[in-house]
Each structure stands twice: as C-alpha cells, then as structure tokens.
Amino acid sequence: NAGVTQTPKFQVLKTGQSMTLQCAQDMNHEYMSWYRQDPGMGLRLIHYSVGAGITDQGEVPNGYNVSRSTTEDFPLRLLSAAPSQTSVYFCASSYSRAGVWETQYFGPGTRLLVL
C-alpha cells in the first residue's frame, strides 16, 4: 500500500491564483481530513469528510473548498490564494472500529508559498 499520497510537494503561487492540492489514499479509509500547519499553531483542521459525497468544515475553512467524489480522493482547492495561506498542508485518513476512532495516517505534506 502507498498509504496517503499528496501532490505537489512544493508550490509557489502568486496572490489571486487558484490551485488544487491532491490527496489520495489506498487503505479504503472512510474518513479523510485536511490540516494546515503553521509555526506554534500545531495542526488546524480545514475540512474533513466522513465518506464519499459527505464533507464538512473544520476549524479554519475560509478560502478553501473540498469535494469527496470517491473514497480514495480528497482534493483541496484554494480559490484565490492569499499570503496568509502560506503554510504546510497535510492530508490524513483514518477509520473507526467498534465506535473508537483509530489512528490518523498522514501524507508527506505540501509546502505552499503564496507571494
């Protein structure tokens, strides 16, 4: 299994540009999430999905859109990039078992710089 994969690894954008960060998992996990990581802030949840066709907002959703058309893929769209969106973005997937949330598996991350 490849686990959780993310593309691209690095990206530089100009203010106002749009782009899509790709995330895929091959573990048949029902849950997928997007986080951003900024110094001193830990990981903050942007959007998450509990299954194909179902998405919901996390802690910091503004400026981002997501969709979940398949179990495997969970792309994150930046509609109009702003310097405040410079960050490291992590995608994660997980599952539940007997009512207990299990571990989150993280992708390698995408480092985004918005100029």
Partner 1 sequence: GQQVMQIPQYQHVQEGEDFTTYCNSSTTLSNIQWYKQRPGGHPVFLIQLVKSGEVKKQKRLTFQFGEAKKNSSLHITATQTTDVGTYFCAAHRSNDYKLSFGAGTTVTVRA
**Residue from 20, 53, 79, 101 that binds partner 1 (CB under 8 A)?**
101
Q: Which residue has the tokens 């986080």?
A: 35
Pairing assessment for the beta strands 110-114 and 10-13 based on DSSP bridges: parallel
By beta-carbon proximity to partner 1, the closer residue of 44 and 77 is 44
Q: Cβ neighbours of residue 74 under 8 Å, at least 6 residues apart?
A: 23, 24, 25, 32, 34, 49, 66, 67, 68, 91, 93
Give the separation between CA 37 and CA 27, rounded to whole angstroms: 24
Establish if 82 lies at the interface with partner 1 (CB under 8 A).
Answer: no
Phi, then psi, of 75 in degrees rounded to 5: -75, 150
Binding to partner 1, residues 41-60 (CB under 8 A): 41-45, 48, 50, 58-59
- From the list 14-22, 60-68, 76-84, 104-112, the region that binds partner 1 by CB under 8 A is 104-112
Cross-strand bridge partners of residue 5 = 24
The one among 31, 34, 64, 74 contacting partner 1 by CB under 8 A: 31
In the complex, least distance from residue 14 CB atom to partner 1, rounded to whole angstroms: 25
User: Applying CB under 8 A, does 27 fall inside the site for partner 1?
Assistant: no
**Binder of partner 1 out of 61, 63, 75, 109 (CB under 8 A):** 109
